[in-house]
Amino acid sequence: MSLPAVVPAPASIEAGSGAPFRLTSATSVSADADAATALAAILTARAGLTPAHAEGSADVELRIAGGGAPESYRIAVDEASVVVTGADAAGLFYGVQTLGQLVARDGGEWILPAIAIDDAPRFAYRGVMLDVARHFHGIDTVKGYIDRAASLKFNALHLHLTDDQGWRIQLDSRPELTEKASGTAIGGDPGGFYTKDDYRAIVEYAASRHMIVVPEVDMPGHTHAVGLAYPELAEDPVISDHMREIVDVYGGGALPEPGVPFEALAVGFSSLKIHDEATYDFVADVFGELAAMTPGPYLHFGGDESLATADDDFAYFVTRVSALIADLGKTPVAWHEAGSAKDIADTTIGQYWGYVTPQDGFAAKAQTFVDNGAGLILSPADAIYLDMKYPSGPELGLTWANGPTSVQDAYSWEPAEVVPGVGDAGILGVEAPLWTETIRTAADIDTMVFPRIAAAAEAGWSPRTGESDLRTWESFRSRVGALGPLWTSMGIGFHPSEEIPWVTE
């Protein structure tokens, strides 16, 4: 008997020998309100059924029973009943997401196959990143992305809130940032920003889906927008011959100018003033206020592509800023380049964005965070940067990361084999970034993210490659193809990659 399609692949799944459970309009559900609401949303979209809520015994029981690993769950389905048991509220939520994937059509009826699933995540951190600086994306789009990511058991939303092209978060301590530096985006598109109420709403919505928000304010590079609001804090753009080449290829010929909004794609020309105490007053204001707004444990301070900052100055800056964030009671996060600073705060988590096969000394920089005992988030750019072009399909996306990136490329890597010598113990988790140089709309997000986001989900949640019969490309492409009808019913406009054998109904 073939197994039903579940993505990400569960730790254990066994098909039952009995008849399936048949879903009808009379099916009753016993659960806490949040789990019942999540299941009702899936069943309504997928099968047009709205289950009845029951206080006592019911056909479908959704319950929490302690004792299992965090976020773990079990599913038992037979002809007479359905029981989903979570070790905690998050585990129950993820069990409901899996249950939704099991819903299938049998002739004119909707069923759940007889099945037993015992599941838990491999890594504690499973993130997606949305860049809202290059193109701004409003609160409704962000909420939609949260829903989509949570359905695949991601538990962190990293928001890239600032870059050369715009500042996207309101801060009472520094109002000029949104007054003077939020109105533009790449290509002259309109900008925007989140008010503090908007940000609070995003954080609360994410929490209702068992996700934390990881805000990123990128520095000391990627800070041209800061200079629009506070010119005294920013160095003039550094335009080297190499930068001119980059601007010519990627930036439409537009060179950055002090005090002028930057609407092109080039990177690496900006820097804060490293040896001015006013800079650190600014940093303290920004992260102090952001810490108070963010209940999650992490504050991301960027640290990537600081090509206009001298190496010694960069090390001084990231060492000081990481300590400042740690003193706020938060865990600093930085892109792997910050690992060049050997005195960086020991608690700093590194985020590796190099290739699946490390180049240019990136592995050594990433190793710093592991040596300090803090660990790494893996985001290999040539595998799970979701903004890379597909081999064929839409014109959206870029190609610099060994692109185009196929769905098979996105799947065929093993986290414990990226940075030499860094296995599961040194890996906090996996994160799939979506940079938005070419991504303007919610529809663009769906097209670029699905189906490749499912590969990142499996890398973060499922057993290690080779430890499960399901952890193969052939299994994955078949299971993803079977989810096409569910994604369509949920309003997800996925790219119909020719690599995937899509099921239609």
Gap between the Cα atoms of 113 and 103, Å rounded: 8
Question: Rounded to an integer, what distance in angstroms lies between the CA atom of residue 242 and that of residue 268?
Answer: 10
Core vs surface per residue 258-287: b (16+ CB within 10 A) or e: eeebbbbbbbbbbbbbbeeeebbebbbebb
Per-position b or e across 52-75, b if 16+ CB within 10 A of its CB: eebeeebbbbbebeeebeebbbbb
Contact between residue 431 and residue 379 where contact means Cβ atoms under 8 Å apart? yes
* Distance from C-alpha of 349 to C-alpha of 427, rounded to nearest angstrom: 10
By CB atoms closer than 10 A (0-12, 13-18, 19+), residue 497 is buried
Of the candidates 71, 235, 305, 431, the residue annotated as catalytic is: 305
Q: How many CA atoms lie within 13 A of 296 on its CB side?
A: 25
Concatenating the DSSP letter of every residue in 385-427 gives -TTBPPSSS-S-SB-TTT-S--HHHHHS--GGGTSTT--GGGE
Assigned token pair, 33: 């309100």
289 is catalytic: no
Please name the residue that has the structure tokens 């973060």: 460
Q: Is 445 exposed, middle or buried (0-12, 13-18, 19+ CB in 10 A)?
A: buried
Cα distances (Å, whole numbers) of residue 187 to 294, 370, 440, 455, 458: 31, 39, 10, 31, 35
* Residue count of the chain: 505
- In the chain, the largest separation of any two C-alpha atoms, in whole Å, equals 72
Please give the C-alpha separations between residue 250 and each of 230, 448, 463, in angstroms, as whole numbers: 27, 20, 39
Sheet containing 115-119: order of strands: 12-15, 115-119, 73-77, 82-86, 60-64, 28-30, 52-53
Give me Rg for the CA atoms of the chain.
23
Residue 98 structure tokens = 């899996």
Distance CA 265, CA 188 (A): 11
Q: What is the DSSP string of 468-493?
A: STT-SHHHHHHHHHHTHHHHHHTT--
What is the spatial order of strands in the sheet that 109-112 belongs to? 21-23, 109-112, 104-106
Instruction: List residues with catalytic annotation.
Output: 305
